[in-house]
Amino acid sequence: MFQNLTRFILLTALVLCVSGESFTPSRNMVRVAVVHEVDHCTLSVDGRYEVVDGVSGKRVEMGIRLKPSLVALEGGAIKIGDRHYENQRVLLEPRRESLITVNDKRFRGDMMIINNAGKSITVVNAVELEEYIRGVLYHEISDKWPLEAIQAQAVATRTYALYSVEKFAGRDYDMTSDIYSQVYGGQTAERYRTNVAVRRTQGEVLTYKGKIFPAFFHANSGGETEDASELWDVNLPPLKGGVQSPFSVNSPHYKWRKNFWLKDIEQRLAARGYDVGPIKELRIVALNQSGRVRQIEIISRAGKSVKMDGKTFREVIGPNDLKSNKYTISMKGWFVDFAGYGWGHGVGLDQWGAYNMALLHYDYKKILEFYYPSSEIQKYDKLD
């Protein structure tokens, strides 16, 4: 009965959202764009399902199984296999625990296929919150880690998800399924120990003065967390940074070094619209309070100077190559060396710090209290 009620709420919310009427999203649902603005994808259903008009909410047809089918646009209509749907939005609603597979990943919940003005398709998974968390944890933290560290990650993940639900209520989806939101793999990504962590922390979120906030997290702080206001329009005590984290020292990614050919950096800058020409020097102009690069100067061999904030420079070069903004620069002729600390933006939960704290027998609540000072853990269904 509860599952049927949840599905009714999901469908009602989705239909109201796309028809332009206002509604308050339920806190037990998350909408994730599992593929976003693509030409096509593959989709299948392993059991009974219904096809519903995503705008009117009317049932279009019922099916027992849907074999792997190409989903694309044809003649302005959504085409699933050999079937055409003139509807601008098509909702696939599985029944009796059936799962929907999109591009070889299995998902619980419903799938909304959206026709983006005849140019591309977006596929949105509407899924119950706790099931969403189960599909995230394996991609964000190892299921072999101490359970207290996984539980800390579960609470942070749930908090960030609900913050996104509230922030993007008027959009077609709350999050994407990649590193720009939280990496989400659906039922395919579920593991026994991560599911245990979700169950043991069920419903728990971080709050500040009774409000959910964006509980950012990263791999390794390099010894000190960052102030979120250096990167985003967020200014809250739990995210002010400055947390000295000896627990992350000497962990993987605590120290790193990367050598670049200057020509490679020139090409990456040009691809993003910064045509500076041959580079003579990269120079750090300003550091922030945590010792991370706030501004960098790029000087060309022709004497041209371009200043760029550290966040943008890291995004241009690539966050997996330039692992953090906490680094020094050494020019080596046609090459440059970056020597740095930490991996990620440095805000909030330090995952390797949490790992080491758990090994020292800190429980997940103490871990969260350490990395999000002034925060409280509450049940989300008790919040206003």
Residue 117: pLDDT over 50: yes
d(CA 123, CA 177): 11
Taking Cα atoms as reference points, which of 37, 257, 298, 6 lies closest to residue 126? 6
67 vs 22, more confident: 67
Q: What is the pLDDT of residue 158?
A: 97
Whether the Cβ atoms of residue 248 and residue 354 lie closer than 8 Å to each other = no
Q: Domain extents for the chain? A: 2-129, 131-231+242-250+345-382, 255-341
**What residues have CB less than 8 Å from 4, skipping those under 6 apart?**
none
Mean per-residue pLDDT, 280-294 = 97
Looking at the chain, the whole-number percentage of residues with pLDDT higher than 70 is 93
pLDDT over 50 (residue 10): no
User: What's residue 96's pLDDT?
Assistant: 84
Query: Can you give the pLDDT at residue 384?
Result: 79
* Whether pLDDT at 25 is above 80: no
Q: Are the C-beta atoms of 321 and 258 separated by less than 8 Å?
A: yes
Across residues 66-71, what is the average pLDDT?
96
Q: What is the pLDDT of residue 7?
A: 47
Q: Kindly report the average pLDDT of the chain as a whole number.
A: 92
170 CB-contact burial (10 Å; exposed 0-12 / middle 13-18 / buried 19+):
exposed
Please state whether the predicted TM-score (pTM) of the whole model is above 0.85.
yes
Q: Does residue 124 register a pLDDT over 60?
A: yes
Please check the confidence at residue 19 and state whether its pLDDT lies above 60. Answer: no
| Residue 27 pLDDT grade (very low, low, confident, very high; cuts 50, 70, 90) | low
d(CA 60, CA 11) in angstroms, rounded, equals: 14
Q: What CA–CA distance (Å, rounded) separates 177 from 156? A: 16
Question: Three-state SS for 18?
Answer: helix
- pLDDT tens-digit readout, 227-259: 999 999 999 999 999 999 999 998 999 999 999
**What is the rounded distance in angstroms from the CA atom of residue 214 to the CA atom of residue 142?**
22
Where helices occur in the chain by DSSP H, the ranges are 2-18, 129-140, 147-167, 192-200, 262-271, 310-317, 351-359, 364-371
Longest dimension (CA), the chain: 71
Instruction: Report pLDDT for 39.
Output: 96
What pLDDT is stored for residue 297 in this prediction? 98
- State residue 24's pLDDT score: 36
Mean pLDDT of all residues in 16-23: 37
Tell me: pLDDT of 305 over 90: yes
pLDDT, average across residues 172-188: 93
Distance set, CA 193 to CA 134, 142, 228 (Å):
10, 9, 31
- Tell whether the model's pLDDT for residue 192 goes beyond 80: yes
Q: Are 269 and 374 in contact (CB under 8 A)?
A: no
Question: Which CA distances in Å does 317 have to 258, 270, 292?
Answer: 12, 11, 16
CB 297, CB 283: distance < 8 Å: yes
Say which range, 9-13, 67-71, 290-294, has the weakest mean pLDDT: 9-13
